[in-house]
């Protein structure tokens, strides 16, 4: 109803339209009703066929092997069947209500009652008709009340999500009563339709007469006009129950019974909500450990954790993309839309493997960027067909100039070293299917496609991949000219019998069209991997000579969700159950799409697997070269960690008081405050032997700034999907990102330096503040970028490292680390080093040599010369 009113408020002309239609119905009831009946039927057909996903899943539900605590029904009933029952109820109620109103109106206006100026009464036969319709409508209403009982599991009136004390003790019996009452009233009305003047009492009398066998023939049944008494009382009781039981009683009970004694009354329901939310968001499997920082890190420890140190991310997507746009775009029609974090194994000269975290970015072709003068049909569909290549940058180093370092760069895809050449295959990195490939193209035409620019010339080629629909013959051309609404296709002379059409090339559109029942991660990522092509192709025709090797694939994470998991709190999302059930691989050159089931335990994906038996493959079928690159998906992790901020509290009392509510800390990024997003790291978890690729997010308490826990999700090999929550002891203060950032910014010399750089023409931007657990300690790292205001080409100017009480700022990460942990600072670039908590009265302009003594090392020269190498 609210939807309707807001709609009317937004567009008043709709009100006028409504009135006109209403008057129409009064003037021409019969004719307009017939038209309306056709329209309504078409509307119902359309609405219902739009809900085909719900109907399909209802046909093949999969058990969750878990029942809800109120009705003891398996959860699959709620996920798969309840939505369909609601749709049926909506349809039945709508249809019968419309029929009832329509029939009443027609009878009311029949016999020229308007021109007579008076309507006398409904004829008995009309009354029977109306009783029949009203009875059916009441049946539908009864069904609706029955469904409302189940919907109580999603009510939000108590302290938690789901049916609370009041719902179970008041709303539930009231709705059961309403349903039964409506059902009996419906029976009474239908009785009147069928038997009309025979009352139930006289039928009973007649039956007993017949039973006594005293007559030779059937006795006459007594008939008298029906009285309305029973119906009247029934309807009154129904109305009263709706008012009292549905509206007043819940409020009264909530106020007078529950609220004075809330925790005691609601405790079992809070327990349910916690348990079901945790299982719906898969928080049950998070292993909890305690992390007691001892701050005993030494340089030796750092060397032992070289994998972690070598993969500390000082570059992130934003500055890298800005640099890429300036340095790597090469032609204006190329664009780097996004840079994705991934890890690659580099094979060193001695055969050992070095895992490096990198940012990979696809150089896609964006047809929008082509100058308007050159936007011709031939250019759009025959020549500018594909992007070319990618860049890979290590996340932890910068070139000497401060610009990003590249493992692979330029159109020629120059590897930075022999190690990279050996480890990362390049092939012919053509991107026909990507995130910006929104145009449809025709390949193998008489016109050659632009491959890549080379010097002042361009190199041309012809697509040799497997994708595309043949449009050699005239009828195929006609079909697609019509389908794409592009009639120039019919008249071009450039087509050959071998010409193919590639459309729906945007990978998101592609997978959404194939699998509309999944929801997708916002961030597809590009993977370079040498996969034996026959592995990934399902079709046997796939065995094609590979003269143009292609190693580019997109991986997209997909989710199955539902909003119908009982007692599960959706938080700020529109679903309350989610699993990362599918990983999708799209070939950037051949366009093939493959679905791999990542979570076979999810009943929803099992149901889809039953419906589409050949669609999904097991994750074990994913080629190993690609499997190395699967990662714990960021959106899923974000949803889970958002829920965990509240639902790590498993004790009902703590939960009720929200004693231990967490939040995501915020940081200052490029002068603006933002929430610390989950970030990927390569690090060794305290309990593990080797370093792995994990996704990490720190938490702080709701009202304070210190760190309270961090959550890690693993991505590698067998440990994929495992989650670990490390909690800090409550009695000890561990600095949170806000506090560390405050300490960085209030350091006189760092602040001075930033302000100095931040003057006219340039900006010093603080990057992501990373909290990095090493051994039993925490290290905080924040890069500082410097960029001109006009032509943005950020360079990595400084790296700030904070450890315990020490802050160091130096040109590179190594120098900062050495300054913090080392005995001798490197002479070339004297870092700024500060001892905190000591000598607060130090004059900010005096070099901090005094405090060095406090550290014990006389020769340390914890030199904090106001660094003068600028």
User: By CB under 8 A, what part of segment 45-64 binds another protein?
Assistant: 45-57
Residue carrying structure tokens 């669609």: 615
Residue 83 interacts with another protein (CB under 8 A)?
yes
Whichever of 350 and 574 has its CB closer to another protein, that residue is 574
Binding another protein by CB under 8 A: which of 75, 174, 178, 515? 515
Choices 212-220, 635-643, 717-725, 843-851; region in contact with another protein by CB under 8 A:
635-643
Whichever of 452 and 567 has its CB closer to another protein, that residue is 567
Residue 756 interacts with another protein (CB under 8 A)?
no
Whichever of 601 and 824 has its CB closer to another protein, that residue is 601
Choices 65-73, 96-104, 405-413, 737-745; region in contact with another protein by CB under 8 A:
96-104
Whichever of 664 and 769 has its CB closer to another protein, that residue is 664
Binding another protein by CB under 8 A: which of 64, 154, 699, 735? 154
Residue 117 interacts with another protein (CB under 8 A)?
yes
Q: Measured between alpha carbons, how far is 418 from 673 in angstroms, rounded to an integer? A: 42
Whichever of 379 and 706 has its CB closer to another protein, that residue is 706
Site residues for another protein, 642-661, by CB under 8 A, read 642, 645-646, 661
Other C-beta atoms lying within 10 Å of the C-beta of residue 496: 11
Whichever of 713 and 800 has its CB closer to another protein, that residue is 713
Binding another protein by CB under 8 A: which of 60, 156, 292, 823? 156
Whichever of 456 and 485 has its CB closer to another protein, that residue is 485
Binding another protein by CB under 8 A: which of 67, 69, 71, 114? 114
Choices 111-119, 203-211, 326-334, 750-758; region in contact with another protein by CB under 8 A:
111-119
Kind of pairing between the strands at 692-701 and 806-810: unpaired
Site residues for another protein, 568-597, by CB under 8 A, read 569-575, 591-593
Q: Measured between alpha carbons, how far is 822 from 859 in angstroms, rounded to an integer? A: 11
Choices 82-90, 197-205, 288-296, 448-456; region in contact with another protein by CB under 8 A:
82-90
Q: How far is the CB of 561 from another protein (least distance, A)?
A: 7
Binding another protein by CB under 8 A: which of 612, 656, 720, 757? 612
Q: Measured between alpha carbons, how far is 211 from 582 in angstroms, rounded to an integer? A: 68
Whichever of 445 and 749 has its CB closer to another protein, that residue is 445
Q: Measured between alpha carbons, how far is 219 from 202 in angstroms, rounded to an integer? A: 12
Q: Measured between alpha carbons, how far is 147 from 168 in angstroms, rounded to an integer? A: 14
Binding another protein by CB under 8 A: which of 188, 611, 829, 865? 611
Residue 36 interacts with another protein (CB under 8 A)?
yes
Do residues 677 and 696 touch, judged by C-beta distance below 8 A?
no
Binding another protein by CB under 8 A: which of 560, 581, 768, 816? 560
Q: Measured between alpha carbons, how far is 646 from 524 in angstroms, rounded to an integer? A: 29
Size of site (CB under 8 A) for another protein? 135
Residue 268, phi-psi category: left (phi > 0), alpha (psi -120 to 50), beta (remainder):
alpha
Q: Measured between alpha carbons, how far is 679 from 768 in angstroms, rounded to an integer? A: 9
Choices 29-37, 264-272, 300-308, 764-772; region in contact with another protein by CB under 8 A:
29-37
Extract the tokens encoding 234.
């029934």
Whichever of 86 and 451 has its CB closer to another protein, that residue is 86
Whichever of 94 and 861 has its CB closer to another protein, that residue is 94
Q: Measured between alpha carbons, how far is 29 from 466 in angstroms, rounded to an integer? A: 60
Residue 670 interacts with another protein (CB under 8 A)?
no
Q: How far is the CB of 321 from another protein (least distance, A)?
A: 18
Q: How far is the CB of 433 from another protein (least distance, A)?
A: 11
Q: How far is the CB of 579 from another protein (least distance, A)?
A: 12
Residue 94 interacts with another protein (CB under 8 A)?
yes
Separation of CA 634 from chain center: 9
Q: Measured between alpha carbons, how far is 355 from 692 in angstroms, rounded to an integer? A: 9
Q: Measured between alpha carbons, how far is 683 from 310 in angstroms, rounded to an integer? A: 10
Residue window 526-545: x/- pattern of binding to another protein, with contact defined by CB under 8 A: ------------xx------
Choices 92-100, 260-268, 367-375, 743-751; region in contact with another protein by CB under 8 A:
92-100
Whichever of 105 and 829 has its CB closer to another protein, that residue is 105
Q: Measured between alpha carbons, how far is 629 from 396 in angstroms, rounded to an integer? A: 19
Choices 117-125, 198-206, 239-247, 803-811; region in contact with another protein by CB under 8 A:
117-125
Binding another protein by CB under 8 A: which of 267, 318, 325, 663? 663
Choices 108-116, 453-461, 726-734, 766-774; region in contact with another protein by CB under 8 A:
108-116
Q: Measured between alpha carbons, how far is 578 from 283 in angstroms, rounded to an integer? A: 11
Residue 87 interacts with another protein (CB under 8 A)?
yes
Q: Measured between alpha carbons, how far is 245 from 249 in angstroms, rounded to an integer? A: 5
Instruction: Outline where DSSP puts E strands in 613-751.
Output: 616-618, 662-663, 666-669, 672-675, 679-683, 692-701, 709-714, 723-727
Q: Measured between alpha carbons, how far is 81 from 59 in angstroms, rounded to an integer? A: 8
Site residues for another protein, 122-151, by CB under 8 A, read 123, 125-126, 129, 133, 151
Residue window 159-178: x/- pattern of binding to another protein, with contact defined by CB under 8 A: --x-----------------
Q: How far is the CB of 178 from another protein (least distance, A)?
A: 17
Secondary structure of 707-721 in HEC code, one letter for each residue: CCEEEEEECCHHHCC
Q: Tell me, what DSSP letter sits at residue 258?
A: I
Binding another protein by CB under 8 A: which of 193, 638, 777, 842? 638
Single out the residue of 50, 2, 161 nearest to residue 563, CA to CA.
161
Binding another protein by CB under 8 A: which of 172, 270, 585, 604? 604
Q: How far is the CB of 372 from another protein (least distance, A)?
A: 28
Backbone phi, then psi, for 28, in 5-degree steps? -125, 70
**Using CA of residue 119, residue 121, residue 126, residue 132, what is the dihedral sign?**
positive
Whichever of 97 and 720 has its CB closer to another protein, that residue is 97
Cα–Cα distances in Å, from 573 out to 157, 567, 642?
18, 15, 10
Single out the residue of 638, 652, 524, 662 nearest to residue 573, CA to CA.
638
Q: Measured between alpha carbons, how far is 672 from 669 in angstroms, rounded to an integer? A: 5
Residue carrying structure tokens 């080409």: 793
Q: Tell me, what DSSP letter sits at residue 74?
A: B
Kind of pairing between the strands at 777-788 and 770-774: antiparallel
Q: Residue 258: how many CA atoms within 13 Å on its side-chain side?
A: 22
Residue 91 interacts with another protein (CB under 8 A)?
yes
Binding another protein by CB under 8 A: which of 67, 69, 105, 748? 105
Secondary structure (3-state) at 166: helix
Separation of CA 225 from chain center: 63
Single out the residue of 825, 835, 831 nearest to residue 860, CA to CA.
825
Whichever of 572 and 690 has its CB closer to another protein, that residue is 572
Q: How far is the CB of 202 from another protein (least distance, A)?
A: 25
Binding another protein by CB under 8 A: which of 221, 615, 793, 865? 615
Q: Measured between alpha carbons, how far is 233 from 215 in angstroms, rounded to an integer? A: 37
Q: How far is the CB of 35 from another protein (least distance, A)?
A: 9
Q: Residue 435: how many CA atoms within 13 Å on its side-chain side?
A: 19
Site residues for another protein, 434-493, by CB under 8 A, read 467-469, 479-480, 482-483
Whichever of 641 and 812 has its CB closer to another protein, that residue is 641
């Amino acid at each position: 109803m609210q939807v309707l009113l807001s709609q009317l408020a937004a567009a008043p002309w709709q009100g006028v339209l409504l009135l006109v239609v209403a008057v129409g119905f009064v003037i021409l009831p019969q004719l307009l009703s017939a038209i309306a009946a056709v329209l309504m039927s078409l509307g119902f057909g359309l609405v219902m066929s739009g809900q085909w996903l719900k109907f399909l899943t209802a046909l093949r539900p999969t058990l969750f092997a878990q029942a809800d605590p109120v009705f003891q029904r398996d959860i699959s009933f709620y996920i798969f069947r309840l939505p369909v029952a609601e749709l049926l109820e909506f349809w039945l109620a709508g249809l019968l209500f419309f029929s009832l109103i329509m029939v009443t109106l027609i009878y009311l206006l029949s016999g020229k009652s308007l021109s007579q100026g008076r309507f006398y009464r409904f004829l008995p036969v009309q009354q029977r008709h109306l009783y029949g319709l009203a009875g059916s409508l009441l049946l539908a209403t009864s069904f609706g009340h029955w469904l409302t009982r189940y919907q109580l599991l999603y009510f939000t009136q108590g302290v938690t999500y789901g049916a609370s004390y009041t719902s179970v003790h008041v709303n539930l019996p009231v709705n059961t009563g309403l349903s039964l009452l409506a059902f009996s009233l419906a029976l009474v009305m239908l009785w009147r339709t069928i038997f009309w003047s025979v009352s139930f009492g006289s039928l009973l009398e007649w039956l007993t007469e017949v039973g006594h066998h005293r007559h030779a023939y059937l006795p006459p049944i007594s008939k008298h006009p029906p009285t309305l008494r029973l119906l009247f009382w029934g309807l009154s009781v129904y109305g009263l129950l709706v008012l009292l039981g549905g509206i007043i009683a819940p409020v009264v009970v909530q106020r007078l019974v529950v609220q004075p004694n809330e925790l005691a009354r609601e405790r079992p329901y809070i327990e349910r909500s916690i348990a079901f939310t945790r299982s719906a968001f898969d928080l049950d499997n998070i292993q909890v450990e305690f992390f007691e920082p001892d701050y005993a890190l030494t340089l030796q420890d750092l060397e032992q954790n070289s994998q972690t140190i070598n993969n500390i991310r000082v570059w992130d997507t934003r500055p890298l993309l800005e640099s890429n746009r300036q340095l790597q775009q090469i032609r204006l029609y190329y664009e780097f839309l996004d840079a994705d974090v991934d890890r690659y194994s580099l094979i060193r000269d001695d055969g050992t493997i070095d895992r490096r975290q990198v940012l990979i970015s696809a150089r896609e072709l964006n047809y929008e960027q082509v100058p308007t003068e050159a936007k011709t049909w031939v250019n759009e569909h025959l020549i500018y067909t594909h992007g070319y290549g990618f860049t890979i940058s290590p996340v932890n180093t910068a070139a000497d100039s401060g610009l990003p370092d590249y493992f692979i760069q330029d159109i020629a895809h120059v590897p930075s070293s022999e190690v990279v050449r050996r480890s990362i295959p390049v092939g012919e990195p053509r991107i026909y299917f990507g995130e910006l490939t929104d145009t449809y193209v025709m390949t193998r035409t008489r016109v050659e496609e632009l491959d890549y620019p080379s010097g002042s010339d361009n190199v041309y080629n012809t697509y040799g991949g497997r994708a595309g629909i043949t449009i050699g013959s005239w009828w195929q051309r006609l079909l697609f000219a019509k389908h794409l609404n592009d009639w120039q296709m019919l008249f071009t002379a450039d087509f050959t019998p071998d010409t193919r059409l590639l459309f729906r090339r945007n990978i998101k559109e592609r997978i959404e069209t194939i699998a509309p029942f999944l929801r997708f991660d916002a961030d597809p990522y590009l993977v370079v991997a040498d996969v034996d092509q026959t592995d990934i192709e399902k079709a046997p025709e796939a065995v094609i000579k590979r003269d143009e090797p292609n190693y580019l694939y997109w991986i997209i994470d997909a989710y199955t969700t539902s909003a119908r998991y009982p007692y599960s709190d959706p938080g700020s999302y529109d679903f309350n159950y989610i699993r990362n059930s599918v990983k999708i691989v799209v070939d950037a050159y051949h366009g093939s799409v493959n679905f791999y089931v990542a979570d076979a335990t999810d009943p929803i994906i099992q149901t889809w697997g039953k419906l589409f038996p050949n669609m999904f493959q097991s994750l074990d079928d994913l080629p190993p070269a690609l499997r190395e690159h699967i990662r714990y998906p960021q959106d899923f992790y974000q949803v889970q960690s958002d829920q965990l901020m509240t639902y790590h509290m498993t004790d009902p009392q703590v939960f009720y008081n929200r004693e231990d509510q967490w939040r995501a800390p915020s940081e200052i990024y490029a002068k603006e405050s933002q929430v610390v997003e989950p970030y990927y790291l390569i690090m060794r978890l305290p309990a593990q032997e080797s370093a792995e690729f994990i996704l990490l997010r720190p938490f702080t308490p709701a009202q304070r700034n210190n760190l309270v826990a961090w959550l890690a999700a693993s991505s590698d090999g067998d440990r994929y999907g495992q989650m670990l929550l490390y909690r800090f002891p409550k009695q000890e203060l561990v600095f949170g990102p806000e506090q560390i950032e405050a300490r960085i910014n209030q350091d006189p010399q760092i602040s001075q330096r930033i302000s100095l750089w931040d003057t006219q023409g340039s900006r010093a931007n603080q990057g992501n503040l990373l909290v990095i657990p090493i051994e039993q300690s925490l290290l905080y790292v924040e890069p500082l970028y410097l960029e001109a205001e006009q032509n943005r080409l950020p360079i990595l100017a400084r790296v700030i490292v904070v450890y315990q009480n020490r802050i160091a700022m130096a040109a590179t990460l190594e120098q900062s680390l050495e300054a913090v942990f080392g005995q001798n600072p490197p002479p070339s670039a004297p870092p700024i080093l500060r001892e905190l908590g000591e000598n607060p009265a130090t004059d900010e302009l005096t070099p901090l040599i005094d405090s060095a003594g406090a550290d014990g090392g006389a020769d340390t020269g914890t030199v904090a010369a106001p660094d003068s190498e600028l």
